[in-house]
C-alpha cells in the first residue's frame, strides 16, 4: 500500500485515478482548487477512510502532511476553451505548481509523476509522434499558455531528475475521454455527446479532416498507475490510443452510438489547431507493458450512458427539448 498525493484530484482524469488507486488499496490525498471542476467527481470517494481531500491551489503552499510515496501532478486546465480563459493560471500551475510538487517530493523522498501532454508536440510535422520528436509549438500563439507550461514543466522535472534530487516519471497524455468529462468543458467528445443527446447539430470546427486518437479513461488510468509504480523509469512516455480518426469520423460514430439524427454544423477552426495527432506507444508497451484495450465505439457508448444520466435521462434516446 502506498500513500499518493494527486493534484487535480477532483478533475476528470484525477478522480478516476484516485478511484483506481483506492480500489487497489492505496491511501490517497486529492488536492484541488476547483478551477475547472467541482466536488461532484469525488463525492462517492469521500466516505472511504483511505481518502482525504484538501482544497488548495497547488501554486500556493501545499498543505499536505505525513509521508508520501508518490506525488502525481495532474492539476491544470486541460480543455482548450478553459485554458484559453485561464491563461495566467495555466502558466502558473505548470511552472510554480510543478516546482512546488517537486520540492514536496524532494522533502518526502517521493516519486514525482508529471501529467504532460501530446500538446508538447504542437502541430506535429512528424507522424505518428514518438517521444524523441521535439515538436512544433508556436511559442507566442494562443495555445502556448498550455503547451509551453507543460514543456517548462517537463524541463523542470528533468532538471530535478538529472541533479538527482527526485525520482521522476513523465507521461505525455493524448486525448482521453469517458464518463466525468464535464459536459460544458468544450472538448470535442463532451461537445458531441451533449449535442447528440440534446438533439443539437454536432459542431465540426474547420474541415473536420483533422485527426485525433482517443483513449478511454480506464485504459489511460492503468497507464498512469503503471508509471507511478515503476521507480527509475523517467520517460517521457506517450500514453494514448494509436487508433487515429478524423473529427468527421468521430461525429459519425457519436451519431451512431446515440441514435442522433440532428446532423452537423460547420464552424471556423480554432487558431493553431493541430492537423494530425497519433501516439507511437512503443515505449509504453516496452517499459510499462501497457496498451489500450477499449474500442472507440465501445468507449463512446459507455460515455454516452454517463452523459445521458447527467442530462437527466435513463436511455440513449435523443431528446428534443434542452435539459
Ligand atoms: P480537468 O480540467 O478535468 O482536471 C484538472 C483539475 O485540476 C481540475 O479539477 C482543476 O480544478 C484542477 N486544477 C487546476 N488548476 C489547479 C491549481 N492551481 N491548483 C489545484 N488544482 C487545480 O482536466 P483533465 O482532463 O482531468 O486533465 C488532468 C491532467 O491531465 C492535466 O494536467 C492535463 O493537462 C493532462 N492531460 C489531459 C488530457 C485529456 O485528454 N484529458 C490530455 C493530455 C493531458
Ligand atoms: N472540435 C470540433 N468541435 C467541437 C470541439 C472540438 O470539431 O465542438 C475539434 C477541435 O477543433 C480539434 C479536435 O476537435 O481539432 C479536438 O479538440 P479538443 O478541444 O477536444 O482537444 P485538442 O486535441 O484540440 O486539445
Q: Whose CA is nearest to atom 21 of ligand 1?
A: 32
Q: Percentage of residues in the chain with pLDDT exceeding 70?
A: 96
Residue 10 CA, closest ligand 1 atom number: 9
The mean per-residue pLDDT over the stretch 29-55 comes to: 97
274: left (phi over 0), alpha (psi -120 to 50) or beta: beta
* Ligand that lies nearest to the alpha carbon of residue 214, given by its number in the listed order: 1
* Ligand that lies nearest to the alpha carbon of residue 173, given by its number in the listed order: 1
Which of 19, 76, 115, 149 for a ligand 1 pocket mutation test, highest count of atoms within 8 Å of Cβ? 76
Q: Is the dihedral of CA 282, 159, 80, 122 positive or negative?
A: negative
Q: Whose CA is nearest to atom 28 of ligand 1?
A: 74
What single-letter DSSP state applies at residue 104? Answer: H
**Phi and psi (nearest 5°) for 197?**
-80, -15
Mean pLDDT of the chain: 95
Q: Whose CA is nearest to atom 14 of ligand 2?
A: 188
Cβ-Cβ contacts under 8 Å for 168 (sequence gap 6 or more) = 102, 105, 111, 112, 113, 114, 157, 158, 160, 161, 234
Distance, in Å, from the CA atom of 225 to the CA atom of 271, rounded to the nearest integer, reads 34
DSSP symbols for 180-232: T--TTS--HHHHHHHHHHTTPPEEEETTS--EEE-EEHHHHHHHHHHHHH-TT
Mapped onto helix, strand or coil, the DSSP state of residue 117 is: strand
pLDDT digit string (tens) for 141-200?
Answer: 999 999 999 999 999 999 999 999 999 999 999 999 999 999 989 999 999 999 999 999
Distance, in Å, from the CA atom of 113 to the CA atom of 228, rounded to the nearest integer, reads 6
Contact 290, 239 (CB under 8 A): yes
Whether the pLDDT of residue 138 is over 60: the answer is: yes
Whether the pLDDT of residue 263 is over 70: the answer is: yes
Active site residue 146: yes
Whether the pLDDT of residue 88 is over 50: the answer is: yes
Residues in contact with ligand 1 (CB, 6 Å cut-off) = 7-8, 10-14, 32-37, 57-59, 74-78, 93, 97, 115, 117, 173, 175-176
Residue 80 CA, closest ligand 2 atom number: 19
In a 10 Å sphere around its CB, with 0-12 CB exposed, 13-18 middle and 19+ buried, how is residue 301 labelled? middle
Q: Whose CA is nearest to atom 10 of ligand 2?
A: 205
Q: Whose CA is nearest to atom 5 of ligand 2?
A: 188
Q: pTM of the full predicted structure? A: 0.96
Whether the pLDDT of residue 317 is over 70: the answer is: no
The mean per-residue pLDDT over the stretch 227-253 comes to: 98
Residues in contact with ligand 2 (CB, 6 Å cut-off) = 80, 175, 187-188, 191, 203-206, 210, 212, 247, 269-270, 273
**Marked catalytic residue, from 83, 121, 133, 146:** 146
Give residue 61's pLDDT band: very low, low, confident or very high (50, 70, 90): confident
Q: Report the b/e string of 256-286 with b at 16+ CB within 10 A.
A: ebbebebebeeeeeeeeebebbbbbbebbee
Q: What is the separation of C-alpha 111 from the centre of its chain, rounded to a whole number of angstroms? A: 20
What was the pLDDT predicted at 254?
98
Amino acid at each position: 500500500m502506498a500513500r499518493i498525493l494527486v493534484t487535480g484530484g477532483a478533475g476528470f482524469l484525477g478522480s478516476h485515478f484516485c478511484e483506481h488507486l483506492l480500489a487497489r488499496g492505496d491511501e490517497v490525498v486529492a488536492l484541488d482548487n476547483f478551477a475547472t471542476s467541482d466536488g461532484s467527481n469525488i463525492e462517492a470517494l469521500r466516505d472511504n477512510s483511505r481518502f482525504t481531500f484538501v482544497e488548495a491551489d497547488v501554486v500556493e503552499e501545499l498543505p499536505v502532511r505525513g509521508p508520501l510515496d508518490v506525488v502525481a501532478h495532474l492539476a491544470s486546465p486541460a480543455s482548450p476553451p478553459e485554458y484559453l480563459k485561464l491563461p495566467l493560471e495555466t502558466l502558473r500551475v505548470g511552472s510554480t505548481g510543478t516546482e512546488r510538487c517537486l520540492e514536496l517530493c524532494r522533502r518526502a523522498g517521493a516519486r514525482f509523476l508529471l501529467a504532460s501532454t501530446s500538446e508538447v508536440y504542437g502541430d506535429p510535422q512528424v507522424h505518428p509522434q514518438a517521444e524523441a520528436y521535439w515538436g512544433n509549438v508556436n511559442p507566442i500563439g494562443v495555445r502556448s499558455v498550455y503547451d509551453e507550461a507543460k514543456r517548462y514543466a517537463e524541463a523542470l522535472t528533468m532538471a530535478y531528475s538529472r541533479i538527482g534530487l527526485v525520482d521522476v516519471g513523465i507521461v505525455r497524455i493524448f486525448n482521453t475521454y469517458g464518463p466525468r468529462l464535464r459536459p460544458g468543458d468544450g472538448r470535442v467528445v463532451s461537445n458531441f455527446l451533449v449535442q447528440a443527446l440534446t438533439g443539437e447539430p454536432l459542431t465540426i470546427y474547420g474541415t473536420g479532416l483533422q485527426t485525433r486518437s482517443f483513449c478511454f479513461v480506464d485504459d489511460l488510468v492503468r497507464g498512469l498507475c503503471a508509471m507511478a509504480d515503476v521507480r527509475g523509469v523517467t520517460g517521457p512516455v506517450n500514453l494514448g490510443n494509436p487508433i487515429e480518426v478524423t473529427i468527421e469520423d468521430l461525429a459519425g460514430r457519436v451519431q451512431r452510438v446515440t441514435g442522433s439524427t440532428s446532423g452537423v454544423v460547420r464552424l471556423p477552426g480554432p487558431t493553431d489547431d493541430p492537423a494530425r495527432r497519433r501516439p507511437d506507444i512503443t515505449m509504453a508497451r516496452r517499459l510499462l507493458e501497457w496498451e489500450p484495450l477499449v474500442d472507440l465505439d465501445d468507449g463512446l457508448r459507455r460515455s454516452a450512458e454517463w452523459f445521458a444520466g447527467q442530462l437527466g435521462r435513463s436511455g440513449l434516446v435523443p431528446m428534443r427539448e434542452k435539459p
